[in-house]
Each structure stands twice: as C-alpha cells, then as structure tokens.
Amino acid sequence: MKKFIKLTIGFVVLAVILLAVAGDYFYGEAVKRGTEVELHREEVAIPVSSNEVNGQIIEGASDWYDQQTFATVTIDSYDDLLLEADFLKNEESSGKAVILAHGFRSQREDMKNFIQFYYEQGFDILIPDSRGHGESQGDYIGFGWHDRLDFQDWIQKLMEEGSSDIFLHGISMGAATVLMASGEELPPQVKGIIADSGYTSADDILSYQLQHLYNLPSFPIIQVTSGITKIRSGFTFGEASAIEQAAKNSRPLFIVHGEADELVPTSMAYEIAEAAGGEVTLWTLPGAGHVKSYTVATAEYQDRLKEFIDKSIEN
C-alpha cells in the first residue's frame, strides 16, 4: 500500500513538472517577446496576387511607402511602457485619420501596403508598434488585451492633432486589438473599425494553434500557460476576448476574412459578426489565406473600404 502511495505521489509530481515545463515552453512560443517561434506561421506560401493589376497596386504601394518621411511619436502607456509609432501627416489633411494595427510578432512596417491608399483618401496615418514588438517596450505579447488600452492613448494623440474622423484598422492580432478596443468607452471621433483576419479570443486561437501546429489537445496546457501568463504578464487568455468586447461595440464594423485562412479559421469571423454590436459588414474572400485578402483582391478591398469609410462618416 505504501509503495502504491509513493508511486502515485511520484506520478503526480512528475505530471506537474511536465505540465510546468510544457506551459513554460508554450509561454515562450505564444507570449514572451521574440520572433523565432512556430506559432502563426504560414505553412504554404501564397502568391502576392492572382491578379496582375492587384500585384501592381501592391508593388507601387510598397515603393511609395519607401519614399515617405514619417515622424516618430511616442506615448507612455498606463503601465509605464514607452510605445513608439510612425506618423504621416497628410499635406491636405481634412481631419480624417487611421490607426493601423499590425499582427502577431510583426511590426509597424508590415502595414505599409495600406499607407498609400489611406493617404490618397486624405487620411493622416498613425502606425504603432504594439507593446512587445518593434521599437516599443514590453517583454510580452498581449494578444490585443492590454493593447486595447494603448489604443485609447493613441486615439487621444490623434485628437490632439485635430483629427475628427478616426478609424481603427487591424490585421490578425491587430484585428483582435481593434475589436477589443471597440468595447471600451471611445470618443465620438472614432467613426469606424476594420478587423481583418481577427480571432475570437486568445484562448480560442491558442487552443486552435496548439492542435493545428502540434496536434495536441488544449487541456490542460492552455490552462497552465494561461496561469503562467497571468503571473508574468498580468492577463489570462480567457479575458483577452475580442468577441466579448465586440458585443459592446456601437460603431460601424467591417470584418474581413479569407476563406482559405489556416491560422485563424474563417468560422471565427462569423462568430464575431454574429455577436458584435453596431452595424456589421462581413466580407469573406474565397481563396485568400491569413491576412491575404488585401493582396489577393486589392482593388475590390479598396472599393469596399471606401464605401465603408464614406458611409461611416455620413452616419
């Protein structure tokens, strides 16, 4: 009997140690600042565009971006991090402005394909590095949760510049960020929100990634990692919910998602659209992978954006 008890205790201790090791490893993959990780990786390269015209638009936008001179602006976050962004003032500024939110383990430069489009629509453009990314401080990735509070400060920054019609546009984790921000008390100057390839919650997307990349069940690894994240980074995966925040939204919302997205399943876009408050427009694009809708159907994407922007400002 004593031997059985000792074996049982030994097994439990070993299981706890293995779970702690697995949780620590997954924290490094999912939350700890860095770039050399497996999560959110495209397994198959997708062409820039299936349409020559779209490809020319993207190439031209990239060249245009490289020719611009951006001002560097900063804010101090609520938890004393110095966050940095590029700001491009439109020479014919009309009070319109957009904040562009990049994706997971990315940086502000990766939003460059959108810059020329917004500038030509008369927008001032702000492109932050999210906390834990690029030139911004922070040793963890917040999956949009703490970033939603940073966006309130970025919005205030634009209002100080005289912006009266502000839009939030994010891709992937950036889409989750703007969705989470949509549930906060935002000033009336925020007219609309664009969420491209966003996930429902950190818990949902990491559970999906664990199975998709590692073929492992989410329980109990996600729960252990979430506990570690709470201790080290101050939030749990469950509370980082874009869908719950979007339910409190009251502004026009444009949801975009590729139907061939293997990193964030398209079903999440439908879930968010169904739960979201405000006037919701959902566009899913056949054949487009993760955050590839803009490159696969650039001209159509731009036309839909123009329509959404004009309608949102009129309202």
| Full-model pTM | 0.92
Residues 259 and 182 in one domain: yes
Residues 17 and 93 in one domain: no
* pLDDT for 127 beyond 50: yes
Residues 184 and 136 in one domain: yes
Residue 40 lies in a domain: no
Residue 251 lies in a domain: yes
* Helix (H/G/I), strand (E/B), else coil: 168: strand
Among 187, 212, 234, the domain-final residue is: 234
Mean pLDDT along residues 30-51: 58
Residues 222 and 274 in one domain: no
pLDDT in tens, 77-92: 999 999 999 999 999 9
Least confident of 48-57, 237-246, 294-303: 48-57
Mean pLDDT along residues 111-131: 97
Residues 111 and 207 in one domain: no
Q: Cα angle vertex 135, ends 133, 136, to 5°?
A: 65
Mean pLDDT along residues 227-245: 97
Residues 195 and 289 in one domain: yes
Residue 43: per-residue pLDDT: 41
Mean pLDDT along residues 256-272: 97
Structure tokens at 24: 């620590």
Domains identified in the chain, total number? 2
- Say if CB 87 and CB 51 are below 8 A apart: no
User: What is the domain-level CATH number for residue 57?
Assistant: 3.40.50.1820
* pLDDT for 209 beyond 60: yes
* pLDDT for 154 beyond 50: yes
Confidence label for 7 from pLDDT (cuts 50, 70 and 90): low
Residues 18 and 114 in one domain: no
Least confident of 26-30, 102-106, 131-135, 181-185: 26-30
Separation CA 297–CA 288 (nearest Å): 9
- Say if CB 212 and CB 204 are below 8 A apart: no
Residue 43 lies in a domain: no
Q: Is 85 exposed, middle or buried (0-12, 13-18, 19+ CB in 10 A)?
A: buried
Residue 42 lies in a domain: no
Residues 122 and 186 in one domain: yes
Residue 54 lies in a domain: yes
Confidence label for 165 from pLDDT (cuts 50, 70 and 90): very high
Percent of the chain with pLDDT over 70: 88
Q: What is the average pLDDT value for the chain, to the nearest integer?
A: 90
Domain that holds residue 260: 49-201+240-314
Residues 94 and 58 in one domain: yes
Residues 166 and 223 in one domain: no
pLDDT in tens, 218-234: 889 999 999 999 999 99
Structure tokens at 170: 């994010």
Residue 38 lies in a domain: no
Closest CA to 309 of 170, 192, 195: 192
Separation CA 74–CA 82 (nearest Å): 7
Least confident of 27-41, 170-184, 206-220, 292-306: 27-41
Residue 98 lies in a domain: yes
Residue 18: per-residue pLDDT: 62
Question: Does 35 or 175 have the greater pLDDT score?
Answer: 175
Residues 25 and 81 in one domain: no
Mean pLDDT along residues 255-263: 96
Residue 21: per-residue pLDDT: 79
Residue 72 lies in a domain: yes
* pLDDT for 185 beyond 70: yes
Percent of the chain with pLDDT over 90: 78
Confidence label for 35 from pLDDT (cuts 50, 70 and 90): low
Separation CA 209–CA 216 (nearest Å): 9
Residue 46: per-residue pLDDT: 42
* pLDDT for 302 beyond 70: yes
Residues 147 and 266 in one domain: yes
- Say if CB 129 and CB 77 are below 8 A apart: no
